[in-house]
Homo-oligomer: A and B are copies of this chain.
């Protein structure tokens, strides 16, 4: 006998592998033939409220297969925070379409959305099995060793920092520093990933600045000038949400107009690298450049991590398996069994405990000087991202 219908949505910023999770869910559902209808909501919960649905039985197998290698959210995404007064509408739509399985692929906020939908439906006695599939390049989801999407974004950043370092070393007679800004909001996971670029002491990056360790002006200038003195040039990675010791975001800098402090900061603090560049250039007189790739690491499928693609797919598949066992109110989690060799086990984590929380970069991943990563961090991240090719020729 067929179960009720199932619906899937994608939410928040896309990643290179969020469609791989979607493919894992859809392929597993279609193979099992347990559900009469497998719907996709277009543009997340926003599309759901407008009943903008796709029926996956009408999508060709070749398109579903292609999803695995397609970056971005093929269903479209949103950042809507569901209002309390919209919950009855959600339930009515679920009922109208006989949907009893509700999946969202997303991050902290998305887990909160599913959690609230599940809780409401339980209160009004509407039978609904809710499963969250983890996704965020920021890697700050609680309850899982790491989050699908992070390893691929990390790989983009490591490759970029490595290549920029190659160029900076060659151009050290002209420019003395290069600053690469990463996304990641208040979390330093993606800035930390830059450390993978380094295979020798002289390689980029030399300094990693992250939100977890506020910066001191004098220390930053000392770090940079000493590196230039010792190595001839300096590569810096900075997380967009990094702060000065007094709590001011580096992105706010000294350009204290309304825009910089409000709208601009809200758009990702995209000027941390610029302000750091400005400071270093002004105080040392050295020339240098900064790079702000913003969301590019979220969609660079040609630089995706193979491990990430596979794990994202398996998370999707696992979500369906739990749902078929009527396990609800959980987020799929990846639990690491060992790093060398790399082995994981998929499990579940209560949505109630994942929702809204953020997992910080652990202290033992950050060097004592607060400006680089430790061996423990490298052991953690290497199997996720894989080894990079070495581009180390300066004759």
Q: List chain A positions with a Cβ less than 8 A from chain B.
A: 10, 13-14, 19, 40, 42-44, 46, 54, 59, 63, 66-67, 70-80, 159-160, 163-164, 166-167, 169-174, 178, 255, 259, 263-264, 267-268, 270-271, 274, 278, 281-282, 287-296, 298-303, 389, 391-395
Is the Cβ of B174 less than 8 Å from the Cβ of A391? Answer: no
How far is B233's CA from A43's CA once the two chains are assembled, in angstroms? 14
Is the Cβ of A293 less than 8 Å from the Cβ of B290? Answer: no
A40-B395, A393-B70, A394-B74 as given contacts; A278 in contact with B302, CB under 8 Å: no
Is the Cβ of B287 less than 8 Å from the Cβ of A267? Answer: yes
Is the Cβ of B77 less than 8 Å from the Cβ of A170? Answer: yes
How far is B289's CA from A299's CA once the two chains are assembled, in angstroms? 14
Q: Residues of B contacting A63 with CB < 8 Å?
A: 393, 395
Within the complex, what minimum Cβ distance (angstroms) separates A278 from chain B?
6
Is the Cβ of B70 less than 8 Å from the Cβ of A391? Answer: yes
How far is B163's CA from A296's CA once the two chains are assembled, in angstroms? 7
Number of copies of this chain that the complex holds: 2
Is the Cβ of A393 less than 8 Å from the Cβ of B296? Answer: no
Is the Cβ of B263 less than 8 Å from the Cβ of A296? Answer: no
Within the complex, what minimum Cβ distance (angstroms) separates A175 from chain B?
9
Q: A296: which of B160, B294, B295 is its contact (CB, 8 Å)?
A: B160
Q: Residues of B contacting A290 with CB < 8 Å?
A: 270, 292, 294
How far is B76's CA from A29's CA once the two chains are assembled, in angstroms? 56
How far is B394's CA from A54's CA once the two chains are assembled, in angstroms? 11
> Which partner residue on chain B sits nearest A298 by CB separation?
B167
Q: A289: which of B174, B268, B303, B392 is its contact (CB, 8 Å)?
A: B268
A to B CB contacts below 8 Å, 30 in the list: A14-B166, A43-B173, A63-B393, A67-B393, A70-B392, A70-B393, A72-B166, A72-B170, A72-B393, A72-B394, A74-B393, A76-B172, A78-B173, A78-B174, A79-B174, A159-B300, A164-B295, A164-B296, A167-B299, A255-B255, A263-B281, A267-B288, A270-B274, A270-B290, A274-B274, A289-B294, A290-B294, A293-B293, A301-B391, A302-B302
